[in-house]
């Protein structure tokens, strides 16, 4: 028996399945995360490109969409120990071009937008209120990084009683190892991992239901 077999033995990794109403949550697809010299790396740009398709499919069926990005106060005095662990985050102030949403996946009119000061999209934002007001119980999660802010949001979504669906093609990290392990760990404890193709197929069923 390998050290991972114990998870199956203890009945980890059961499927949650999609609930009655879903929304898309896009996390930290900001300009600075497109550059290896700043906050990016490994597959983040690929995840951004795939999220263009995810957003197009969601908007086609009028699925609620939320965008959350990281913004620090001038000097980074408001992000606490997070800024001590990752000092460069203090540079992501509102007036820094690196803080801007990547244009190809930027919010459009009518979509929820929030700014956060820590990893989770829920911490210090009104995201949970927006989810409740839209009667949402399932989140299709895209963004970066897989092992950081995506993971934190998925864990908090689970804590709020939601069904996190991490879209594997639409999440990225600055290194392969953390990305792959985070997906595995999330799949065992907190979330379902879905491909972009699976999510788009689900959205097509919604479109057909509306047309019927």
Residue 86, class by beta-carbon neighbours within 10 Å (0-12 exposed, 13-18 middle, 19+ buried)? middle
What is the number of H-type helices and E-type strands within the chain? Answer: 7, 6
Dist. CA 139–CA 131, nearest whole Å: 9
Dist. CA 203–CA 200, nearest whole Å: 5
The one-character DSSP state at 109 is T
Is 149 annotated as catalytic?
Answer: yes
Dist. CA 119–CA 39, nearest whole Å: 14
- 23, 27, 149, 196: the active-site residue: 149
Dist. CA 144–CA 14, nearest whole Å: 24
Dist. CA 64–CA 107, nearest whole Å: 11
For residues 70 and 27, the answer to whether their CB atoms sit within 8 Å is no
Q: Which residues are marked as active site?
A: 149
């Amino acid at each position: 028996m390998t050290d991972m077999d114990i998870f199956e033995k203890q009945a980890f990794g059961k499927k949650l399945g999609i609930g009655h109403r879903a929304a898309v949550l896009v996390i930290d697809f900001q300009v600075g995360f497109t550059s290896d010299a700043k906050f990016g790396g490994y597959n983040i740009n690929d995840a951004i490109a795939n999220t263009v398709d995810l957003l197009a499919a969601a908007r086609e069926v009028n699925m609620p969409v939320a965008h959350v990005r990281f913004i620090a106060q001038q000097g980074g005095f408001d992000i606490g120990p997070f800024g001590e662990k990752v000092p460069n985050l203090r540079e992501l102030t509102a007036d820094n071009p690196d803080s801007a949403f990547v244009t190809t996946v930027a919010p459009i009119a009518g979509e929820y937008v929030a700014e956060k000061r820590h990893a989770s999209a829920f911490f210090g934002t009104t995201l949970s209120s927006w989810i409740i007001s839209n009667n949402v119980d399932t989140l299709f999660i895209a963004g970066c990084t897989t092992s950081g802010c995506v993971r934190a949001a998925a864990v908090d979504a689970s804590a709020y009683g939601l069904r996190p669906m991490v879209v594997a093609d639409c999440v990225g990290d600055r290194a392969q190892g953390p990305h792959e392990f985070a997906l595995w760990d999330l799949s065992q404890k907190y979330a379902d991992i879905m491909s972009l193709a699976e999510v788009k197929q689900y959205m097509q069923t919604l479109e057909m239901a509306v047309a019927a």
